[in-house]
Amino acid sequence: MSDQPLPLASVRVVEFTHMVMGPTCGMILGDLGAEVIKVEPIAGDNTRKLLGSGAGFFPMFNRNKKGIAVDVRDPRGREIVLKLVAGADVFSENFKAGSMARLGFGYPALSALNPKLVYVSHKGFLPGPYDHRTALDEVVQMMGGLAYMTGPEGRPLRAGSSVNDIMGGMFGAIAVLAALAQRSTTGRGQEVQSALFENNVFLVAQHMMQFAVTGQPAAPMPSRISAWGIYDVFTVAGDGQIFLAVVSDTQWAVFCDAFAFTDLKADARLRSNNQRVLSRDWLIPLLRERLATRSAAELSDVFETNGLPFAPITRPEELGDDPHLLATGGLAPLTLPDGRETTVPLLPITLDGQRLGVRHDPPRLGEHNDEVLKSLGYSAGDIAALREAGVIGAAPGGA
């Protein structure tokens, strides 16, 4: 970001998080310049060891953080954390209700130590009848209407990403920024919360409002009544697939001209978007037949030339070579905890025309023990003694 310091360069965050939701909040704050210190148990955050769909969680959501490994059940380990909190601006956690309080790190205790502290909790539910339940992204997608809207009739299907975890962490970060802004006026911190279920309800709110406006329940996306006449995935030559959209009357005229569909352009049944919506039962099969002999590449060229909406059907692993992301700096180099090199997507924002990059790779377990403890006044001998006693993790070297 040119020569200006990052917006949160003066902010210190102490993070007790795992999985996706809490780490996402810390990643956002870290990308914005905060010093984020991730506190892990001696054995490490279990997220480091996940397989399958969880294998990308730790490297994705823990960049731009320092990492320490501390036994917080040992009084000497708790003392390290309390010294960190005394000089921190934000404390972030996403463990089960009561977990932080049992360790002595609940909001009342930490705010008494540091009244300026902003304490953000990422939970399954905001306080209420459900807050005793254990929530996961998939749990709230099922109970919050999103899985119903995503799958075909009778086949609820979770979205293909951890949408509630990621957005829940994002809203946690928004709440932190609001509390920090308010602190500049009041001088006091506060506790803020974000939750998976309420986030999911926010995601389906447009469908709730559709029912309020029309009196008709929203149909699942595969069987919905589309708001636009042409808004579909088409299978084309060579079994290729492409998404094509025509969402306005002006675009309809351009589309018909581009493909010389003079009969369709003149058809009185298709003059307005709403008429085309009502004609989808015969119009879409007709368009599928007419476009089936063209390749996805040819259709892409025509749509791009004429400024019409289209999209290739892309797999996530293919995005690492996306020419737009490569040309605009949307991917940054990253070293994984095991030493391998890769690239990672950055926050989808610019500040002063610049993307917010990777300043720190995801930390190796206990990587910053010595640095952080020295900043708290511990001597080299103190640190060696704590390591020998098993209060802090061994010297870094592993993932």
- The predicted-structure confidence for 77-130, as pLDDT tens digits, reads as follows 999 999 999 999 999 999 998 999 999 999 999 999 999 999 999 999 999 999
Q: Using the 8-state DSSP alphabet, how is residue 320 labeled? A: G
Q: Is the pLDDT of residue 223 over 60?
A: yes
What is the average per-residue pLDDT within 147-157? 94
Instruction: With a cut of 70, say whether residue 366 has pLDDT above it.
Output: yes
For residue 134, pLDDT beyond 90: yes
Superfamily of chain region 226-316: formyl-coa transferase, domain 3 (3.30.1540.10)
Q: What is the CA radius of gyration of the chain?
A: 26
Q: How far is CA 184 from CA 114, 117, 118, 180, 316, in A?
A: 15, 12, 12, 7, 41
Mean pLDDT of 241-251: 97
The reported pLDDT for the residue numbered 3 is: 72
268 pLDDT tier (thresholds 50, 70, 90):
very high
pLDDT at 191 over 60: yes
SS3 at position 185: helix
Dist. CA 240–CA 256, nearest whole Å = 22
Tell me the sheet residues that pair with 392: 70
Query: Token pair for residue 90?
Result: 């934000």
Q: pLDDT of 382-392, one tens digit each? A: 999 999 999 99
Residue with the two structure tokens 């019409």:
308
Question: How many Å separate Cα 247 from the centre of its chain?
Answer: 28
Distance of CA 164 to the CA centre of its chain: 8
Q: Is the pLDDT confidence value at 395 over 80?
A: no
Determine the average pLDDT of the residues in 139-153: 96
Mean predicted lDDT score pLDDT of the chain = 95
Which residue's entry shows tokens 């797999």? 315
The structure's pTM equals 0.94
Q: Facing residues of 37 across strands?
A: 14, 66
Q: List, in sequence order, the alpha helices (H) in 196-306.
A: 196-203, 205-214, 249-258, 262-266, 273-278, 280-291, 296-305
CATH fold of 12-203+323-388? Rossmann fold (3.40.50)
Determine how β-strand 331-335 pairs with β-strand 310-312.
unpaired
pLDDT for res 4: 83
- Asked whether residue 222 carries a pLDDT value surpassing 90, the answer given is no
Q: Which DSSP helix (H) or strand (E) runs through 191?
A: strand 191-195
Per cent of the chain over pLDDT 70 is: 98
Does 369 score more than 70 pLDDT? Answer: yes
The token pair that represents 210 in the structure block: 């559709």
Ranges of each domain in the chain: 12-203+323-388, 226-316
Nearest to 295 by CA among 239, 257, 244, 243: 239
Q: Is the pLDDT of residue 399 over 70?
A: no
